């Protein structure tokens, strides 16, 4: 890593001498002068490249299934989050220092943008009222009056939400919202290759009208584990790499260029910048690109950028394969796709091959639209990650917002 990066970072953030020594000890002296941190080097000797793999060919099945966790496994690398792993994660929090709780979820609001599909992914919340007469225009705007009379002798009134459904020409039944919107954790039944999904399970065998009978939300469960922030945006800002940045969001905040490919070298730099010793099995690894800032003001032009009108930053297959060697529980970030779009590197005819590589081949779940900017601002590069996804049978994702417990670095 370029030593100017560290010097710039220390100068801008007044990093104390103790933290400099911590980073040198954690990443290795070589990281301070430009070498790859020894602890960040991927185990094994297999070459890493961007070659697409044909998971849909039954002849290749033995190359990736059954899973390392057994032929019947449905949890993938969540198996790495053992009680001992959770205990070690909690031990990151030092006694006698304040612990800050970070909300890593996007605020959901009516009309929240989503990947364009047919039928559409929509989020339109409506309020139901029972027990009083709502204000003028309430029902015309979509509110629902169940009854104006209060309930019982104690005159109880009730508010509750419903979600608006819409009719689609191709799907005549009214359809409402989805877990695949906002901050979400993809399950192992989300993306496959033709009939095949994680561990060799076949779509025709597991697909039912309500969801899938294998790999769904009921097999996820809550996890508490170590989180690692890869502040790639922070690396670029510290290094002055303006060519890797996009036009700022409407709120003036910086972000990575729309088609910027995050490289293995960027990952190594981010590990060194944060003084992180490396990625371990069961970790949650999250990228900071600044992309969530495009939603901050609900600006139409920013939302079009967020949706990927000109692409979006992210990793590609080499990086996914490098990360997978460490067996993290989750790889995610603050974009809605994790993988790069709009870069010539993925003009190879593939569609979301990083999802196939992580979900199918390795059983590693993908976190999307996680808000990590506050973690980056507080220079919290290691933290306790907590999530309890929807306990929903057959669901392809959970969009309950995760949390992080961290200790901001002293200025």
Identify the weakest region by mean pLDDT among 131-135, 270-274, 292-296, 347-351. 347-351
pTM of the full structure: 0.87
% of the chain residues with pLDDT over 90: 77
Average pLDDT along the chain:
88
Structural domains of the chain ordered from first start: 3-108+182-406 (3.50.30.50), 125-163 (no CATH)
For the segment 82-123, what is each residue's pLDDT rounded down to a tens digit? 999 999 999 999 999 999 999 999 999 999 998 877 788 889
Q: Is 34 exposed, middle or buried (0-12, 13-18, 19+ CB in 10 A)?
A: exposed
d(CA 208, CA 326): 34
Q: Between β-strands 330-333 and 365-368, what pairing exists: parallel, antiparallel or unpaired?
A: parallel
34 close to 1: Cβ distance less than 8 angstroms: yes
For the segment 159-216, what is each residue's pLDDT rounded down to a tens digit? 999 998 888 888 888 888 899 999 999 999 999 999 999 999 999 999 998 999 999 9
Structure tokens at 368: 């999307």
- DSSP per-residue codes, 109-166: -TT------SSPP---EEEEEESSPPPTTTTTTT-EEEESSPBTTTTB-EEEEEE--E
Q: Identify the three-state secondary structure at position 366.
A: strand
pLDDT at 274: 97
């Amino acid at each position: 890593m370029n030593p100017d990066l560290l010097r710039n970072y220390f100068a801008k953030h007044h990093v104390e001498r103790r933290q400099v020594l911590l980073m040198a000890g954690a990443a290795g002296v070589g990281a301070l002068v430009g070498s790859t941190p020894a602890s960040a080097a991927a185990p094994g000797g297999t070459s890493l490249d961007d070659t697409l793999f044909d998971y849909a060919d039954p002849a290749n099945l033995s190359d990736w299934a059954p899973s390392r966790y057994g032929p019947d496994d449905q949890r993938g690398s969540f198996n790495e989050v053992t009680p001992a792993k959770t205990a070690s994660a909690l031990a990151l929090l030092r006694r006698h220092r304040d612990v800050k709780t970070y909300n890593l979820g996007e605020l959901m609001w009516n009309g929240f943008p989503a990947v364009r599909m047919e039928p559409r992914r929509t989020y339109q919340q409506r309020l139901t009222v029972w027990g009083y007469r709502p204000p003028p225009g309430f029902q015309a705007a979509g509110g629902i009056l169940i009854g104006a009379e209060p309930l019982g002798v104690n005159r109880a009134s009730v508010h509750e939400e419903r979600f608006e459904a819409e009719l689609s020409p191709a799907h005549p039944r009214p359809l409402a919202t989805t877990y695949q919107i906002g901050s979400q954790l993809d399950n192992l039944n989300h993306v496959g290759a033709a009939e095949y999904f994680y561990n060799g399970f076949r779509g025709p065998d597991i697909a039912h009208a309500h969801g899938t009978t294998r790999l769904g939300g009921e097999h996820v469960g809550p996890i508490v584990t170590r989180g690692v922030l890869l502040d790639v945006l922070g690396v670029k800002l510290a290094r002055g790499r303006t060519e890797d940045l996009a036009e700022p969001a409407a709120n003036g905040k910086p972000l990575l260029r729309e088609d910027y490919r995050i490289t293995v070298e960027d990952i190594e730099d981010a590990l060194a910048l944060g003084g992180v010793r490396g990625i371990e099995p069961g970790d949650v690894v999250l990228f900071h690109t600044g992309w969530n800032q495009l939603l901050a003001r609900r600006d139409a032009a920013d939302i079009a950028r967020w949706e990927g009108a000109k692409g979006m930053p992210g990793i590609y297959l080499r990086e996914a394969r490098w990360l997978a060697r460490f067996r993290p529980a989750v790889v995610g970030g603050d974009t809605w796709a994790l993988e790069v779009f709009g870069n010539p590197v993925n003009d190879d005819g593939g569609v979301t091959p990083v999802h196939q590589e992580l979900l199918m081949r390795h059983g590693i779940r993908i976190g999307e639209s996680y808000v990590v900017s506050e973690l980056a601002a507080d220079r919290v590069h290691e933290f306790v990650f907590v999530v309890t996804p929807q306990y929903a049978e057959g669901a392809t994702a959970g969009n309950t917002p995760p949390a992080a417990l961290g200790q901001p670095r002293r200025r």
